[in-house]
Amino acid sequence: MSLQPETLKSLVRAAAEQVIASAPELTALDQAIGDGDHGTNMKRGFEAVLGKLDTIGAQPPDEALKTIGKTLVMTVGGASGPLYGSFFLAAGDALANSRQLPDDLAEVFACGVGAVSARGRSQPGEKTMLDVLFPVLETLKTEAGNPDLIKRVRATASEAAARTAPMQATKGRASFLGARSVGHVDPGARSSCVLLQAVCNTLEARQ
Amino acid sequence: MNDLVGEAMNDMVGIVIVSHSKDIAKGTADMVRQMVGSEVRVAFCGGNPDGGLGTNVPLIIEAINKAWSPKGVAILVDLGGAETNSEMAVEMLQPERRDLVVVCNAPIVEGAVMAATEAAGGSSLEQVRAVAEELSAA
């Protein structure tokens, strides 16, 4: 079984719309510990993705993911562009190298997460989007085959994003704030959570 | 903006300045030109795709190509996103150019002036980068 273009299209649409709707929240989080542009940057990037939805829907999954990645890289206008862009470019590469969705989901996701980590030269525990992506990867690995996988992923994403609040940032803009970054959810962790939840909700509704 | 084409430029590393603010990028380039002269190729960019504060991969790629020299190009950046976006831009260049572009870990204004000064003397890309990065070593 492989990922159908129309499934991918509906996932992309849902994820993009949810991020766009969350832009004010993401910006508010980023104003607390960053430079306040995460919401508008993500909105700009995902609006561009929505604008290419027909192209994306007509492409094989590997090329579709690369189109998403490249679009984000070229339009976001902040560090989150290359970070999210690298995720989708690497995941697309994994599919091009004979990995399949949904069967190799954990492996494909791992390639994406690895690319984000390399691009940001960052590891989990530094109050970044990786603090959501790594726990979700872990859930994808350990709960593979579980009929409740979607629920588990959604719960993991949401708990992991919340767990960034007490962390002190050591990477990214928030690291300039040192201890003052403590007490706020990381905007990148939150946007990763929003994207993953939109995907989970859409998959669940299709079941 | 990059009207500094001349015979000499092919012998000198080009300089690219990437700031979140176009005004800072332009001001830095102005300082380089005044302090170092116009024989080194300098290109700059700043701002997100909507013209607000931020950085922008397509504009960085354009700036690199404008400042291009066979000896390479050194990029000076301000804050985190400028660095990440510059690294991404380098990876998206034609393969034969990628290895000839470096992002310097240096303060943007001082780094640009020092890098351009070193470049004007005909130094290699590695030397230009090293001189700029000495500013961050202390």
Specify the pLDDT at position B7. Answer: 45
Residue A51 in tokens: 């604008």
Cα separation, A1 vs A87, in Å, equals: 23
Q: How far is CA A117 from CA A191, B34, B86, in A?
A: 16, 40, 17
| Three-class HEC string of A108-148 | HHHHHHHHHHHHHCCCCCCCCCHHHHHHHHHHHHHCCCCCC
Indicate whether B137 belongs to any domain.
no
Q: Which among B54, B58, B92 has the least Cβ separation from residue A78?
A: B54
Summarised one tens digit per residue, pLDDT across range B29-51 is 999 999 998 899 999 999 988 88
Q: Does A120 touch chain B (CB under 8 A)?
A: yes
CATH number of domain containing B57? 3.40.50.510
Q: Which of A162, A164, A154 is nearest to A124 (CA)?
A: A164
Cβ of B88 within 8 Å of Cβ of A85? The answer is yes
Count of domains for chain B: 1
The predicted model gives A21-40 an average pLDDT of 92
Percent of chain A residues topping a pLDDT of 70: 98
The per-residue pLDDT of chain B, averaged, comes to 91
Domain assignment of residue B57, given as a range? 7-132
The predicted model gives B3-20 an average pLDDT of 74
Cβ of B88 within 8 Å of Cβ of A81? The answer is yes
> What ipTM did this prediction achieve?
0.79
For residue A83, the surrounding DSSP H or E stretch is: helix A80-96
The per-residue pLDDT of chain A, averaged, comes to 93
Which residues of chain B lie closer than 8 angstroms to A73, CB-CB?
Answer: 57, 88, 92
Domain assignment of residue A183, given as a range? 5-206
Cα separation, A119 vs A72, in Å, equals: 14
Indicate whether B138 belongs to any domain.
no
CATH number of domain containing A76? 1.25.40.340
Count of domains for chain A: 1
B72, B35 Cβ separation under 8 angstroms = no
Taking 70 as the threshold, does the pLDDT of residue B9 lie above it? no
Angle at alpha carbon of residue B16, lines to B20 and B42, rounded to 5°: 120
Summarised one tens digit per residue, pLDDT across range B65-94 is 999 999 999 999 998 889 999 999 999 999
